Structures are given as C-alpha cells and as structure tokens.
Amino acid sequence: MEIKPIAKIINDYDSKFAVPRQSGLVNEIESQIIFEKEYSNKAAFKRIEEFSHLWLIWGFSLNSHQSTSLTVRPPRLGGNEKVGVFATRSPFRPNPIGLSSVKLEKVIKDKNDNVTLIVSGADLVSGTPIYDIKPYITFSDCHTDAVCGFADENKNHKLKVIIDDDILNNIKKEKQNALKEILEGDPRPAYHEDGRQYGFAFAGKEIKFTVTDNTLTVTEITDGK
C-alpha cells in the first residue's frame, strides 16, 4: 500500500520538544491545515463544519531512521522502564504514523473555493505531513469507562513554572499562556537530569530553561534562528 500526504500542518510548534505530549492539552494554539492542490477543493469538505472535532492521521516526519525495537522508554515513566511499543504512543514505531484528535475551529474558503482548516489542540510539529482526516464521533469514539494503564498514573503530573516578567515579555502576549502550559507538561526528552539547561523553538523564539526538584525556571527567551 502506498500512502502520500494530503496536507501539512502549520503552527507555532517549531521543534518537537515544544509540542504538547498529547493532543487536546494546549488549546490556545491554532493550527492551519494546508491541503495539496488535488485535495483542497470544497467538494471534499462538504458538511465537515457539522463536526466539532476531527481525527488527524499523520506521519512522524522528523524520525531520522526506521525503528526496529519492540520496546520503548516512555518519558512519563522517567525514561527508565521499558514497555512494549504497542502499549505506548511513542513516535518510534514499526510504521511512524500518529493519530490526534483536534477541535475544528473554522473552515476557510478562498475565492477559488480552495479550503484551509483551522484547528486547535494539535500536538504536531509545524510542517508535519497529514495522510487523512476523519470526523470524531462521540457515540463510537468516546469510551467513558476506559482504563488507561500507566498513563493514568501520571496524567496530573505538572512542573511548577517560574518565568520572570522581563523574560516572559520577550514573547507575544497571546502566546504566553500556551508557553506556560507546554512548560508545565515537562518538554524535556525521556533521558534528563536536574540542573541541566534545555531548550526548544516555539513561536519563532528560542526558549531556554532548567529543572530542579519539579520546578522549571525559564532562563532566557530570544529570537529564533
């Protein structure tokens, strides 16, 4: 089977460590879904505005090599415990395919009736290829009695975030709350250590920070490269 991108996503997540760990965790950042010419026609989107949420099927395009391991070390387990790849949402998979639910905010049509979708709650790096889009359907997709294994054990884990106002004001005001939510979610890689300086690109800026005893301190926000 051959699959090819139908679209790409454009947003403020300029690097993989800026991305929330799951979709729906940071809803203040809106993303544009820009379609390839053959899929942007309004006919492909007839009645899509009747749905509040969508499933995005997409590719882990930043993976530099194909994964052959059947076990991974989830960040939420501290990167110290191996579990089966199919018991995780790790990007390192036999087939590097991701699945995310997002909120459909707006359907935009240009003068030629080409369509762009505006969504919120995405967990995709800007430029990520999208292979398909499907509507989210509550009666089949929502399982209120679901048990979520070790993910439930860490779902409320958040870091305390400290940012001096002089540093915070280096990023646009409308991006500040989203940045704080990303930082609370601990954007460090699975293998990390207290006191070390980390950084990532977000909204055209370079964010530098350290973490000690579950407290994250932003040391610098500068213009991105």
pLDDT value at residue 68:
81
Closest by alpha carbon to 101, among 54, 151, 51, 148?
Answer: 54
CB 218 within 8 A of CB 207: yes
Separation of alpha carbons 192 and 207, rounded Å: 17
Q: How confident is the model at residue 79 (pLDDT cuts 50, 70, 90)?
A: low
Residue with tokens 């990520």: 128
Q: Which residue from 169, 190, 3 is spatially nearest to 89, judged by alpha carbons?
A: 190
Beta bridge partners of 145: none
Q: What's the residue count for the chain? A: 225
Question: Does the pLDDT value for residue 55 go beyond 80?
Answer: yes
> What does each C-alpha distance from 98 to 59, 60, 68, 221 come to in angstroms?
6, 7, 17, 30
Rounded mean pLDDT, 113-131 = 96
Q: Is 115 in contact with 42 (CB distance < 8 Å)?
A: yes
Range 50-73 average pLDDT: 89
Region 151-172 average pLDDT: 89
- Please give the CATH topology (third level) of the domain spanning 152-223: YaeB-like fold (3.30.2310)
Q: The domain at 7-61+96-141 falls in which architecture?
A: Beta Barrel (2.40)
pLDDT value at 66 more than 80: no
- Asked if the domains 7-61+96-141 and 152-223 are classified in one and the same CATH topology, the answer is no
Residue 104 has pLDDT above 90, yes or no: yes
Does position 216 have pLDDT exceeding 70, yes or no? yes
Comparing CA positions, the residue from 55, 59, 57 lying closest to residue 96 is 59
Pairing of strands 215-223, 160-162: parallel
Share of the chain above pLDDT 90, in %: 72
Task: Find the helix or strand (DSSP H, E) in which 177 lies.
Answer: helix 173-184
Please give the mean pLDDT across all residues of the chain. 92
Residue 19, pLDDT above cutoff 70: yes
For the segment 57-75, the average pLDDT, to the nearest whole number, is: 84
Say whether pLDDT at 65 is over 80: no
Q: Is the pLDDT of residue 215 over 90?
A: yes
- Write down the domain spans for the chain: 7-61+96-141, 152-223
pLDDT at position 224 is: 80
What SS3 state is found at 50? Answer: helix
In tens, the pLDDT along 197-208 reads 999 999 999 999
pLDDT-wise least confident of 31-35, 71-75, 120-124: 71-75
Positive or negative torsion for Cα 178, 180, 186, 189: positive
